[in-house]
Chains A and B, each alone.
Chain A
């Protein structure tokens, strides 16, 4: 299977960006060809959205998936999925039930050639704290993840600051940061260099963007500084373009053109 073994940050696309068009203007193959057009080599899928007959795809579909990866020289980079602990409306799932469902996703991610998962935890309150047993759930699935060579990653998403308590909490399985090394400035923007100490623990980046102008500049995020910080400090993973603008749902909107602008920008900054 195609793998991009180049050093440095690599360009890819999160299929979430196509949410408004997928299944209408765009098939899965159209998305892959679009990615190939951009010179990008990696893809993130959302399991519940992009896998036909999820969570039980047929072998024919899995073969089709690999045929697309081969044809368009795109590698499976990140398997986006959820642990829906509130899937039943009258009670939370038990740890054992949640582990079994998580293991089902691990097996499926492995079957599709992924090595990294964005594992979205269920939350129980308005502060977005995860379910109380989240550590037990992750720990319960670690032996299988290890056996299959998979890494589960939490998504650090706005408004979480890169220096916040949540980073300490999520780091327990890899690295223990010193208490006091972090403050908790929710809703305070980070400086680009704040990402540098975290780079050894980053397996994948959503390269989110809100607004690209016609000069191929993102007008809300200091992209050049962030990408330089990643490149100059040894990040070898993917930057998966994820377009957040709600206008992608407007009649006639073509997110593929917006993604191309983003890739022109990243290509110009990275030089490839």
Chain B
């Protein structure tokens, strides 16, 4: 009797949630979890924020999956992730400048010196990406962190393939310049 009442209340409270979840699971949305996380890592610059952003992205995706019925679920969920990351960046910008932190940076089973050196290099790369203009950063992050093809990036951002390539080229040059300046500045 009691269980029936609880079930009835649940049906009343979440009328479309269960079908939406089932549909999203059918579409294997959750299989893109790692790619979503990597994209968020590229945008956020640290693993802790990337984890939170991935959760937030999936919360949005699961909530809207049934209504939106995406034709290309991967592109759809990555677009949600990108927008979520940009929202966070905007919120952080309004709170003041922040630098990407180096927690959870790559740690291998090498000597402590090499690990420390590599961690520093990764931090420099993250900073180089963080200081890029948004239109260059999003292309670079989608390509290098999200592992999207040029065509997928063009579709996701609504720009031409040529624009994707030229932006990617400029972004890479800027990151390299920043990295070399910082690296030589520290080692020299």
Instruction: Say whether A and B bind each other.
Output: no
Residues of B within 8 A of A (CB): none
Residues of A within 8 A of B (CB): none
